[in-house]
Amino acid sequence: MSRNVKYIVLHCTDTSPLASMEAIKRYWKEHNKWERPGYHYIIKSNGEVVKLLNENLVSNGVLGFNQQCINIAYIGGKTKEGKHADTRTPQQEDAMYELIMWIKERHPNAELKGHCEFPNQGGRTCPNFDVKEWQKNYIPSVVRENPDQEEDEE
């Protein structure tokens, strides 16, 4: 069964960048009483992407819009002092970009949005950066070669 995905939504976990996956999952289960994860994918500070939920299932990322969303979060979003901030590492940004491109191959019409861009989300600032500006200005720090492109050596 395939869902009609209208949005690819970016989130932060609203935690320290040092928060563990176990602590985040425990919070969802114990505090939020969620059966399923908040996101389909989560990106660790080293850029490792962890799939938490099959894309055909609904996660808990955006209240009122979850049926239409694939949710991606980076671990972080808060400084040591507890202030909301874009705490993404270059590795997280690269992984986020690549993950978005991979999802867009399957859902080319899905719109990229930040969690805070949806109505009735309790005044959230998540993902703590302007998604449209980032999308417009982002340049991958690592340029990967296209494996389908052959070089002419003559």
Share of the chain above pLDDT 90, in %: 74
| 42 Cβ contact partners less than 8 Å away, ≥ 6 residues apart | 13, 21, 24, 49, 50, 52, 72, 73, 74, 75
Mean pLDDT of 14-35: 91
| 103 Cβ contact partners less than 8 Å away, ≥ 6 residues apart | 8, 55, 70, 72, 110
Q: pLDDT tens digits, residue range 119-150?
A: 988 888 999 999 999 999 998 775 544 444 34
What are the structural domains, with CATH classification, of the chain? 7-137 (3.40.80.10)
**72, 82, 77, 65: which is closest to 121 by C-alpha?**
65
